[in-house]
Structure 1
Amino acid sequence: MKENSGLPGKRANLELLKIVTDLGDEDFFMSCIKYDENIAPTNTQGEFVAMCGVTGLGKLINAGKLDNFQLMREFASDSRWRVREGVAFGLQIIGEKNFDILIQGIKEWTKGNDYEKRAVVAGLCEPKLLKDRNNAKRVLEILNEIIESIKFISDRKSESFRVLRKGLGYGLSVAIVGYPEIGKNIFEKLRDIVDKDITWILHENLKKNRLEKMDKNWTDKMKNASA
């Protein structure tokens, strides 16, 4: 697994990650997450092992082991970005099987730190999870809550805020496409908030082709209004 991890390098072997997650069991995943930052720093083969373990926690939650939500929450703030991605992948695994359990499990994360909020954004803003309009509606409400919370964030130079802002810069448009009528309304209300980072997030989403494909006239209107 280590030898075929793709690390060190620019891209981890996500195909192998899926295979490992499909085949792994609880003992295996728990052994993988022991590869912490000290013995498996960023861009090492060990980081891939940890990533596999964290992703696999989603599979364990699907098997009814809900206590692993707390472990996933802790790893959402890991110093290694690939491990944080593993949390997002794990959340998507849960959402594909039981979206209600996913939403309930991350309810408190939306009030947590910036890394935790970013994990929520990355985990939920996945097109395959938003084909159901009820799911998309719930995600849009969560994103709206997270974006509005930015008004109360004082430290905006931290790495955690940077990745949260970046995630919101694409995630909102993914959710809007899932339920355009509600999504466009939320977007337009967010435009009324005077906050440079919220404005940046909205501008970034307007650059995404998915919004033009959804409704070019509305997207052009929003672009012109913010020009």
Structure 2
Amino acid sequence: MTQVELHRDALRALPAEEVPAYLTARSGLPGPRSNLELLTAFGDVAPAGLILDLAASPDEYLRACGTAAVGRLLVESPADTALTALLHARAADPSWRVREAAAMALQRVGDVDGAALRLLVQAWAHDPHPLVRRAAIAGVCEPRLLRDPATAAAALAACRAATDSVEALPADARRDPDVRTLRQALGYCWSVAVAGDPTAGLRAFAALERSPDPDTAWVVRENRKKARLVRLLPA
């Protein structure tokens, strides 16, 4: 039995009011790595009310657990705009762990409903907030999701839109920490997107390499270091 399965069983057996203490005691924090298996298990089995409560928690790990689990609620209630708004807000959370959980929530959606993921990613890749744009590319640039050709195309389009958004900024605005976080994500997401659709991806990456923009040049250099892209580039 895997750790995720063990945690699922334990969480199912607990009264809802005892779940936060269980999560906190096994969070792995403080430490170098939070317990992602536990976070995943919570998202699999937690009741909706508890998910929403934790997504608003002041505690970073509990808020991350709740945020990632919102993806399951969106799958169950795709027309619930309040859930989409909540996830959008968490995509720009001050905590990087919570922002990563928002991207994981998008991936939960994509595992079940690729079309719904693509709609969210298309909108978020053009969002005014750089951290929301970052969530869009981090969410869709997941290898398991890019086996679907339509989602692979959406990943390339999102990376291009997010890159264009950085290129459109004046130099002083690019020093904003949130913009730097977006650039950091572009530094690996492009390689994932290209690997998801090498034929279209290599054409898109070749166009990226022709850009005179210094931040785009940095993005190109970072992606060229990734083994998944090195394998695809001409010798």
TM-score range, shorter chain: 0.7 to 0.9
Q: CA deviation at 1:23?
A: 1.0
Selected match of 2:150 from 113, 118, 134: 134
One-letter amino acid matched to 2:90:
F
**Which residue in the other structure is 2:28 paired with?**
6
State how 1:1-227 maps to structure 2 within 5 Å: 1-36=23-58, 46-65=59-78, 66-67=80-81, 68-112=83-127, 113-154=129-170, 155-213=173-231, 215-216=232-233, 218=234, 220=235
Partners of 1:191 and 1:202 within 8 A in 2: yes
Q: How far apart are residue 206 of structure 1 and its match? A: 0.6
Give the corresponding residue for 1:41: none
* Count of aligned pairs between the two proteins: 208
C-alpha RMSD over aligned residues: 1.2
Q: Secondary structure, in 3 states, of the residue corresponding to 2:33? A: coil
TM-score normalized with structure 1 length: 0.88
Q: Deviations over 1:142-194 (max 9, x none)?
A: 21121122111231112211111111101111110111110011111122221
Give the deviation of 1:105 after TM superposition.
2.5
Query: Is the contact made by 1:77 and 1:84 (CA closer than 8 Å) also made in structure 2?
Result: yes
- 2:6 aligned partner: none
Q: Distance in 1 between matches of 2:188 and 2:206?
A: 16
TM-score in terms of structure 2 length: 0.85
Q: Distance in 2 between matches of 1:57 and 1:82?
A: 15
Unmatched segments (≥5 aa) in structure 1? 37-45, 221-227
What displacement does 1:78 show?
0.7
- The gaps in structure 2 that reach 5 residues or longer are 1-22
- Comparing 69-78 and 142-151, the one that deviates more: 142-151
Distance 1:10 1:159 in 2: 22
Percent pairwise identity: 33
Superposition deviation, residue 126 in structure 1: 0.4
